[in-house]
Amino acid sequence: MEQLQGKVAVVTGAGSGIGQALVRRFAGEQMRVVAADIEAAALAATVDGLAGTSTFIADVANFDDVDALAEHAYETFGATDVLCNNAGVFAGGLIWERPPSDFAWTLGVNLWGILNGIRAFVPRMLAAGTAAHIVNTVSMAGVCTNAFSGPYTVSKFAAQAATECLAHDLSAIGAPIKVSAVVPGAVATRIATSGRNRPETLAALRSDDAQFVEQALADLTATEGAPPEEVATMIVAAIRTEQFLVPTKPSYAKQLRDRCDALVDRELPPMPDFD
């Protein structure tokens, strides 16, 4: 989709980080934007002073919320040309120590958020019959495995599989809808404090392993994280050129190759350095 001006984008997880940068970037491209998040104040700050934007509070883990978001987008702007299923949360630690609530939470947001976005928006996009692009924010943790990251990595591998299946299905029926999977490494966002949005029904179990990995993630994203604006620029380029995989660093090509080589050699893939 070369021409973005005047088109309509919907972005989830728009209150912070990559989602916030996407909203601002799309607005800068003179697109109309529906910004959605679970955090009302953060969402309001994202669109402050931006023309052609609308906000919507939605928990992406809840299908009714996402369906209402789609209804809102079509009622407000009459279309959805670009959908960014971006909302995501992190939980990690030693896999045998992590409670079911860690998996329920990460799978709920990182996998079901994407599945709900697909189910709510794709039928409406197909009915419109116009060109569209769906961008799912996955992670390098969706294509490579690492220690201390079981709940997050399991959810992101599933998110990557869902994104590839979506692209295959749309291609199989000849739909004019393209798909991208964004696989960032470290980005300077608030991902390490995702627990701020964790529902009480899925309360965390505090433990040394979880605290260790959260601190490591906080340090990594703060000191070496790419600016979210850079990731937004890569995503806009991928929409324009219909690029499927969007790794945020050239070094990720080697990490992907190393993983595949190890599997072909029947070995455990090495842990990559998500620099």
Ligand X SMILES: NC(=O)c1ccc[n+]([C@@H]2O[C@H](COP(=O)([O-])OP(=O)(O)OC[C@H]3O[C@@H](n4cnc5c(N)ncnc54)[C@H](O)[C@@H]3O)[C@@H](O)[C@H]2O)c1
When binding is defined by CB under 6 A, the residue of 189, 202, 214, 239 that contacts ligand X is: 189
Number of residues that bind ligand X (CB under 6 A): 31
User: At closest approach, how far in Å is the CB of 29 from ligand X?
Assistant: 19
> Restricting to residues 78-97, which ones interact with ligand X according to CB under 6 A?
86-89
User: At closest approach, how far in Å is the CB of 246 from ligand X?
Assistant: 11
82-85 sheet: strands from edge to edge: 53-57, 32-37, 8-12, 82-85, 132-137, 177-183, 245-247
Tell me, yes or no, if 152 is annotated catalytic. Answer: yes
The residue among 104 and 175 lying less far from ligand X, judged by its C-beta, is 104
Single out the segment in contact with ligand X by CB under 6 A; choices: 73-81, 181-189, 234-242, 264-272: 181-189
- Following CA atoms 108, 130, 184, 15 in sequence, which dihedral angle do they give, to the nearest 10 degrees? -60
* Closest by CA position to 162, among listed 110, 92, 90, 87: 110
> Restricting to residues 10-29, which ones interact with ligand X according to CB under 6 A?
12-13, 15-19
The residue among 195 and 270 lying less far from ligand X, judged by its C-beta, is 195
The residue among 78 and 165 lying less far from ligand X, judged by its C-beta, is 165
Q: Are 103 and 156 in contact (CB under 8 A)?
A: no
**What are the residue ranges of helices labelled H in 51-196?**
63-77, 100-106, 112-128, 150-172
Q: Are 160 and 181 in contact (CB under 8 A)?
A: yes
The residue among 135 and 177 lying less far from ligand X, judged by its C-beta, is 135
Active site residues: 152
